[in-house]
Amino acid sequence: MYIYNHQIRVRYGDTDQMGYVYYGNYAYYYEQARAEAIRARGITYKEIEASGTMMPITRMSTKYIGPAYYDELLTVKTILPHLPNRIITFHYEVLNEKNQLVNEGETQLIFMDANTRKIKTAPAFLIEVMKPYFP
């Protein structure tokens, strides 16, 4: 299992009229966290795309547990429970500054050939850097 923590400061524009993080922004927070989780292993989404691989999302779920507020520093704990193959699944736990769980979610992405649009296996270089986390 691979775990990565990414911090995001809630901007004023991320909040709604009640002062809570607007529900739609959690998808954006997930995207930031998963990109940085991969970057922490020395690979960027840009490199994956340059290799001829696209990663469209096929499923996303989210559960709202409590509010997050303007100027809070949130920690998005990103968990890969399985070594990527044709699918890569990310679980997220969003914690506030008091280390309280305010949101949790999951995204599932597939690996797709950029030219043929057919599903394929994850790039070998991505699997290689993730292997040590999945004995």
How many Cα atoms within 13 Å fall on the side-chain side of residue 84?
A: 26
Dihedral sign, CA of 33, 89, 99, 133?
negative
Structure tokens given for 108: 């599932």
pLDDT in tens, 29-73: 999 999 999 999 999 999 999 999 999 999 999 999 999 999 999
Supply the pLDDT for residue 120: 98
Which of helix, strand or coil describes residue 30? helix
State the burial class of residue 57 (Cβ atoms within 10 Å of its Cβ: 0-12, 13-18, 19+). middle
Q: State mean pLDDT over 4-32.
A: 96
pTM above 0.85, yes or no: yes
